[in-house]
Structure 1
Amino acid sequence: MSDNIQEGEVLRQIEREVRMREGASKLLAACSRREQALEASKSLLTCSARILALLSQLQRMRKAQILQRVGHRPSEEAVPSLGKVSLSDLRVPLMWKDSEYFKNKGELQRCAVFCLLQCGTEIHDTDVVMVDRTLTDICFEDTIIFHEAGPGFQLRVELYSSSAVEDFSPGALGPRRSSRLGGSVGRSSGKKIRAAFESAAVCGANVGAGSVSPPLSPDLSTLGPKFNLLAHATLTLEHVQEGFKTHDLSLAATEDDPFWLPLYGSMCCRLVAQPLCMIQPIISGQLKYKLGEDLNCWGNGFSVLRGQNLLCYQSQEDMESEDKPSLEIPITQDTVVCVSERDPDLCQTVNIISWHQGEEVTFRLTPPSPEDTQRWTETIWQHIYNLSQWKQCCHHLMKIETQGSKKAIPARQGSLYHEIVTPSAPGEGHVIPDLSVEICALLSSYYKER
């Protein structure tokens, strides 16, 4: 992908996030219930974080272009493969006073909490969790997956809190707009608001392609509840392992803050990684491979490099049918690869020196042509480098557990759901139309009135 195409894609992402942020701010002003306002405020903060991350990426891209124009050559160092990083089952223990937790004394402290997770330019947020002194842990059931992480990734986890005991005054947009938005979207649930944010980006209103939406007006950006940074932590490759692990939290607030919660100072989560070099075939093709100690005993078949093994089959059909390979060559970060010529045909042979069953063993391969020899050799070298960079993540393939389907929550009377569902034939329940289309139409008409 050329630099201009990449820059154009980043600009489109920035434009989309700006429109989503503006739509979130409009909806925040129209919310009539606190839970709706909290959801809108969270999305507003998430959109702003994504915009800042994309602007930083755009700045790095333009700096690289300037250096290239003045004759600065890009680094020729090997670049490790990317991979997936997953964080799940996040728990933040609380440390209430005995009088608060056991005797239920003192002023009731109730906060809305969520986590913002950033790895590079990928930013995700969790659901909002209501926390009071009846809970001993803040539990986030979300499974967050970052799809383009390198081995040098830094995953920043930020815990945000908003006091839920403060008075909530619904925003006012004026009689006409309030009646149009507040009467429908204002009574919808948090999930409907999230759908509206996506619809706002799709609708685009009267903003043309390639342009940037105007900034938020100050009065809209100050409406609604505010989330404040409570604590944060940064996770790296060294923290990746199977199972749960405890990590230290750095506090960013004090007991005097209204959004304060008595954190224990740590968090527990499951952080796993799947490098692409472990989950997809790296190279495949025809190879001759030496069998046993007899120098004249060679096999000829189809081979594929996958994970920590170079698998040699008698044919491609055997590989596709997942038959047992004729030869299995271990490839680890300690493997040594070199090329030699053997008489009398002066054919180039790829020598792979690795450890097999506790002993150093040399495996010999002969590709069909010198070009294939170079291709196989360079690919195996790069693969060994990838394994060395991802370290413990390549000892075996870690499993990323996807979040299971949640049970549907019955809608409340008076919500947008009950306002637009249409009754169907007896015994068939209700027919639910596409809510995003309805909200998209509302937002589109709202923007046209601006």
Structure 2
Amino acid sequence: MEVKRGRFRLSVLEDSAQDCEVQRRIEREVRIREGACKLLAACSQRDQALEASKTLLTSNSRILALMTQLQRMKEAQAMLRAGRRSSDGGSVDKRLPCTGKVAISDIRIPLMWKDSEYFKNKGELHRCAVFCLLQVGTEIHDTDLVIVDRTLTDICFDEPVIFTDVPPGFDLRVELYSCCVEEEFSMGFSTRRLSRLGSASSKKFMATLETAASCSSHSSGTGSPGGESPVLLPALSVRGPKYHLLAHTSLTLCHVQNSFRTHDLTISDTEGSSFWLPLYGNMCCRLVAQPLCMTQAVMCGKLRIRVCEYNVLL
């Protein structure tokens, strides 16, 4: 009985450490969100406004996912305190399959422009800034921004995105967000810069936000003492570019393949929206997975081989 109590205390300590880690991640995302709101209200350049708005949307998604995980962890702890533990104790974890890494790369989303727009170059030039948000559980990544107009036939995100510690029953959600780029914002920018907002500028932008968020945290003391959950204030109402969900899809283990594969997209809006793009309705990508047991030792020890001799009757 004492052994079981010891295991229970150890489990409670591990859960408390996990709670603190999740709360620390939430506080970091809250500070990044506050910095993005301030920058969005102050910036006058188009590329900065688009990056700040993208960061704001990504941080909100991460905060929501982390808060959901924190709530589930607290519910599990409450069940443990109530004594409703599994009958076979710690042997359950040994029967669980190992986790692994999942990588998605070379995302291609074809566009279906009208003949008069693409070949004859007629009509108003419709330009949108788009990016993908990729989520597995609480791990959320965003791609670079891409400026799309009728000169492009595909929306391309070449950089690989890697998820770690993924269970075999994962659900990789891919969301495509779009924002209409107003004409006054696009004035004064070269065509090369319009085609793609590179990852270097995005990394510099995120580094600036994190530095400002860290300084703001130390100066104002906004940490959550005593391990309590941070208070999530509503985002500041600022004017600037707004991203809208254009399409989405979900990928699972059955979609893993060592080659390109086409997946159906669910389009979320209609042609009348300003951020709408003529999507073909499909997405091509490469999705691969690697279990940890392929790169790490799962079991070690001496292997005893017993040879049995059989008499064969002819």
Deviation at 1:21, TM superposition (A): 0.6
**Counterpart in the other structure of 2:81:** 69
Tell me the alpha carbon deviations over residues 176-195 of structure 1, each in whole angstroms, 9 at most, x when there is no partner: xxxxxxxxxxxx95443211
**Counterpart in the other structure of 2:34:** 22
**Counterpart in the other structure of 2:192:** none
Deviation at 1:257, TM superposition (A): 0.3
What is the identity, as a one-letter code, of the residue corresponding to 2:179? S
What is the identity, as a one-letter code, of the residue corresponding to 2:36? A
Cα distance change, pair 40–158 in 1 and its aligned pair in 2 (3 A):
same
**Counterpart in the other structure of 1:266:** 282
- Secondary structure at the counterpart of residue 32 of structure 2: helix
Distance 1:103 1:265 in 2: 24
Q: Tell me, yes or no, if the aligned pair for 2:30 and 2:59 is still in contact at 8 Å.
A: yes
Q: Tell me, yes or no, if the aligned pair for 1:20 and 1:197 is still in contact at 8 Å.
A: yes
Give yes or no for the alignment of 1:253 onto 2:256. Answer: no
Q: Tell me, yes or no, if the aligned pair for 1:82 and 1:149 is still in contact at 8 Å.
A: yes
- Secondary structure at the counterpart of residue 11 of structure 1: helix
Query: Which segments of 5 or more consecutive residues in structure 2 lack a partner in the other structure?
Result: 1-12, 187-199
- Secondary structure at the counterpart of residue 229 of structure 1: strand
What is the identity, as a one-letter code, of the residue corresponding to 1:3? D
Distance 1:290 1:190 in 2: 60
Deviation at 1:259, TM superposition (A): 0.2
**Counterpart in the other structure of 1:102:** 119
Bigger mean CA deviation after superposition, 35-44 or 22-31? 22-31
Deviation at 1:79, TM superposition (A): 1.8
Q: What root-mean-square deviation, in Å, do the aligned CA atoms of Structure 1 and Structure 2 show?
A: 2.1
**Counterpart in the other structure of 2:299:** 283
Correspondence 1:135-284 to 2 at 5 A: 135-165=152-182, 167-168=184-185, 189-203=201-215, 204=217, 205-210=219-224, 212=230, 215-216=233-234, 218-219=236-237, 222-284=238-300
Distance 2:96 2:209 in 1: 37
Distance 2:98 2:212 in 1: 36
Q: Runs (4+) of structure 1 moved beyond 4 Å?
A: 166-169
Bigger mean CA deviation after superposition, 272-281 or 233-242? 272-281
Q: Tell me, yes or no, if the aligned pair for 1:231 and 1:250 is still in contact at 8 Å.
A: yes
Deviation at 1:85, TM superposition (A): 0.4
Deviation at 1:141, TM superposition (A): 1.4
- Secondary structure at the counterpart of residue 243 of structure 1: strand
Deviation at 1:196, TM superposition (A): 1.1
Pick the aligned partner of 1:89 from 95, 106, 112: 106
Q: Tell me, yes or no, if the aligned pair for 2:37 and 2:236 is still in contact at 8 Å.
A: no
- Secondary structure at the counterpart of residue 158 of structure 2: strand
Q: TM-score, normalised by structure 1?
A: 0.58
- Highest relative contact order (Cα 8 Å, sep 6+), 1 or 2? 2
- Secondary structure at the counterpart of residue 132 of structure 2: strand
Deviation at 1:217, TM superposition (A): 5.5
What is the identity, as a one-letter code, of the residue corresponding to 1:141? D
Distance 2:262 2:59 in 1: 29
What is the identity, as a one-letter code, of the residue corresponding to 2:295? I
- Secondary structure at the counterpart of residue 8 of structure 1: helix
Work out the number of aligned pairs and report it.
274
**Counterpart in the other structure of 2:61:** 49
What is the identity, as a one-letter code, of the residue corresponding to 2:209? F
Q: Tell me, yes or no, if the aligned pair for 1:85 and 1:274 is still in contact at 8 Å.
A: yes
Q: Tell me, yes or no, if the aligned pair for 1:86 and 1:144 is still in contact at 8 Å.
A: yes
Distance 2:305 2:123 in 1: 76
Cα distance change, pair 75–82 in 1 and its aligned pair in 2 (3 A):
farther
Cα distance change, pair 75–153 in 1 and its aligned pair in 2 (3 A):
farther
Task: Decide which structure has greater helix share.
Answer: 2
What is the identity, as a one-letter code, of the residue corresponding to 1:264? Y
- Secondary structure at the counterpart of residue 164 of structure 2: strand
What is the identity, as a one-letter code, of the residue corresponding to 1:227? Y
Distance 1:208 1:111 in 2: 37
Q: Tell me, yes or no, if the aligned pair for 1:19 and 1:213 is still in contact at 8 Å.
A: no
Correspondence 1:360-375 to 2 at 5 A: none
Cα distance change, pair 251–47 in 1 and its aligned pair in 2 (3 A):
same
**Counterpart in the other structure of 1:122:** 139
Cα distance change, pair 45–245 in 1 and its aligned pair in 2 (3 A):
same
What is the identity, as a one-letter code, of the residue corresponding to 1:157? V
Distance 1:196 1:110 in 2: 28
- Secondary structure at the counterpart of residue 305 of structure 2: strand
Deviation at 1:223, TM superposition (A): 2.2
**Counterpart in the other structure of 2:14:** 2
Q: Tell me, yes or no, if the aligned pair for 1:17 and 1:201 is still in contact at 8 Å.
A: no
Q: TM-score, normalised by structure 2?
A: 0.82
Identity of aligned residues (%): 60
Distance 2:50 2:57 in 1: 11
